[in-house]
A and B are shown apart, each in its own frame.
Chain A
Amino acid sequence: MVKLPTRVRVAISQEIPNKPKNQYQSQTLWIWLSLFAVCGLFAALKYIDWEDGNPVLAPWRKEKLEQELQEIDNAEQYALKAGIPGYYPCYSCPKDSKIWLNLNEIWKYGVTSKSQAGRYRSGLPAPNLYYTVQYEGTISDCLKQEKIQIYHYPLLPENIVREIPLNRPPGNKIDR
């Protein structure tokens, strides 16, 4: 399904003409206190249900928990690769801040899950990179795969042939 979020800017005027300042402050305080009380009551009522006198999770909390547990199972280990030959940012290079990558060479390994899908929503770190899904599974399994890939990166033929081989992919600042 296509989502179309809307952004709305709200301008708030801070000037209230013909109104005593202390009265305005008092009213504002009461409004805030009331809001806090309502929110607190609402939250307390919503998180807990009662069954036969026993406290249980509210249905919406149960549902949210199950959804979030499922999201943890729906993770993936990915690689960002060079879509065209050229210079790319390098965080693991000993001296330079850029590195030449040939077509399809690895720039970075990473892990994401459904709940983190917004990670590259507004674009990949560099314009000529593309994203490949290398492994799908639980977040724990994906983190293991990511670690294996990062640790084995120095042995890749594309890295071995470099004058100074890198210890990890150009886009990985740390081992994880």
Chain B
Amino acid sequence: MDKIAWPPIHFSAVLLDAISDKAPLVKKVETAISSLKLSDYGAGLKAISFITIAVLPSNKVHEESITYYAGKKAIDFHLKLDYPTVAEANETRFLQLTAQLFLRGLREAPQEKITDFDWAQFQHDAEQIFMEKGWVTA
């Protein structure tokens, strides 16, 4: 079988089945941000995986985490949205929530461990894209 090609910035979701129709929407955020090339910001980061989580508050399986793999120069974000908010959100609201969650992830990333990467510029450029899409406001 052919090797599976992963995009450098990859989005996916972990959602309760009742709201799983929203999961494919995260690909819209991935597509929007795919114009940003990680190599333009330095050699310190080659891959970003971002997982949006929306499960019941009682769920103990999915916890938030940010993991940096120094060997692969990759960072994985597993960050949570409030389940009732996601359940009530329409498409635009869900995209706004995901975009804002991504920006939160960038702010909380272990930037001091990934020095050869212009975090401020990357965050600024991502924010600009999200603003153009109407997913975040100034």
A74 and B15 contact, CB distance less than 8 A: no
| Stretch in contact with the other chain, from B21-29, B32-40, B95-103, B117-125 | B21-29
* B134 on the A face (CB < 8 A): no
A31 to chain B, nearest CB (A): 30
Chain A contacts of B93 at CB under 8 A? none
Chain A contacts of B66 at CB under 8 A? 2-4
A171 to chain B, nearest CB (A): 13
Which listed residue, A1, A89, A130, touches B15 by the CB 8 Å rule?
A: A130
How big is the B interface, by class?
35 or more
* A6 on the B face (CB < 8 A): yes
Which listed residue, A3, A103, A134, touches B67 by the CB 8 Å rule?
A: A3
The CA of A43 and the CA of B63, in the complex, are separated in Å by: 31
Chain B contacts of A114 at CB under 8 A? 60-61
* B87 on the A face (CB < 8 A): no
* B-to-A contact residues, CB < 8 Å: 1, 4-7, 10, 12-17, 20-21, 23-24, 26-27, 49, 55-56, 58-71, 76, 78, 108, 110, 113
